[in-house]
Chain A
Amino acid sequence: MKSKKTTNNLLLFSIVIILIISPLLLLKDAEFGGTDSKAEEVITEINPDYEPWFNPLFEPISGEIESLLFSIQAALGAGVIGYFFGYVRGKKNASFIKESKINNTKQK
């Protein structure tokens, strides 16, 4: 029963992997480029006189620093999620052991 659940989850996860990888394989010439630059172009196309009136207080100095910060963000999330499942799993196992001990003493 439990293994069936795991298989389902793994199957679902493989769909996600395929969704993410297939554009990379199908579109060899695409840029998969930076995120904010083109939106700027569209705004200037619609509204040529528009000047951004405020600049970011801090901008990552290079692409490397930016990806460093992005990976910190993802790592924080992943760390908490890992902690959560480790914790609840441990709790589940502990209550399992407790129950079986109670059952054992009853049998004696």
Chain B
Amino acid sequence: MKKRINLTLALISIMILAPNYVFGMHIMEGFLPIKWAIFWYVVSLPFVIMGMRKISKTFNDNPNQKMLFALVTAFVFILSALKMPSITGSTSHPTGTGLGAILFGPLPMSVSGLIVLLFQALLLAHGGITTLGANVFSMAVAGPYVAFAIYKMLKNKNKKIAIFTAAACANIFTYVVTSVQLAFAHPDVVGGVTSSLLKFLSIFAFTQIPLAIAEGILTVIILNLIANYENEAGYEIEKNN
């Protein structure tokens, strides 16, 4: 017990002492060289197209799923608008993509994420049009796939824990991918990609942990609520994933 307290204290002090960088949650406009901007557009595009197909198929099978899809997209909207303070003294925001990935599978989330990222790029100068491909890949493709995989692995053991872990890991993984994208685009002169990856990772790693926990819990709550009404509302949870 005492050991555990010491460990917690150590972790907390690391978090507080960690460098107080503030990290742009999405890659800013113009900050990816042209070749990388194009590369990530090309990588993301097929996922968005497959996502649209999957969505129209889902809606054809059961029109009641439309409401549920509106809900998961709204969840991404609201969570990615909330810049929350974190233990490192900077702010970042959750992504909200885990919920949709659990309910609909990873592909439809590429479309939800694209809508939100476009809104933020065009109106808020948050993220950007040139970096849209890269941001879609990290937030709307990589994150949802991680959520989906983790949920599938854990759901038979404990559903609540599976949901929590899936959403929290999707959140963290989104920012890991962002770091990788930045590291490849801006390799360190001395240490190359690895050294610049470590720099980018250290910026947000600790910032993101409490927010990932918060996102995991919020996802559990909203899924609890959705499950309450499954029979009457006519939508089907997990039918399409």
Residues of chain A whose beta carbon lies under 8 Å from any beta carbon of chain B? 5, 8-9, 12-13, 15-16, 19-20, 22-24, 26-27, 29-40, 42-43, 46-47, 50, 52-60, 66, 69-71, 73-74, 76-81, 84-85, 87-89, 91-92, 95
Contacts and interface: CB of A to CB of B under 8 A. Distances in A.
A30 B90 contact: yes
A48 B131 CA distance: 20
A35 B31 contact: no
A84 B71 contact: yes
Given A12-B220, A40-B28, A50 B186 contact: yes
Interface in B159-218: 182, 186-189, 196, 199-200, 203, 210-211, 213-214, 217-218
Interface of B: 16, 20-25, 28-31, 33-34, 67-68, 70-71, 73-92, 116, 119-126, 128-130, 182, 186-189, 196, 199-200, 203, 210-211, 213-214, 217-218, 220-222, 224-225, 228-229, 232-234
B81 A5 contact: no
The 9 A-B residue pairs with the shortest CB-CB distance, nearest first, are A30-B89, A77-B78, A52-B30, A77-B77, A80-B74, A36-B24, A88-B229, A56-B125, A54-B30
Contact of A36 (B28, B196, B232): B28
Contact of A38 (B22, B70, B71, B210): B22
Contacts of B89: 23, 27, 29-32
B22 A37 contact: yes
B82 A74 contact: yes
B36 to A, nearest CB: 11
A12 B78 CA distance: 19
A87 B234 CA distance: 12
Contacts of B232: 88, 91-92, 95
A6 B113 CA distance: 30
A57 B89 CA distance: 30
Given A35-B91, A54-B130, A81-B74, 12 more contacts: A27-B87, A35-B22, A38-B90, A39-B31, A46-B187, A56-B121, A66-B124, A69-B123, A74-B78, A84-B70, A85-B229, A88-B67
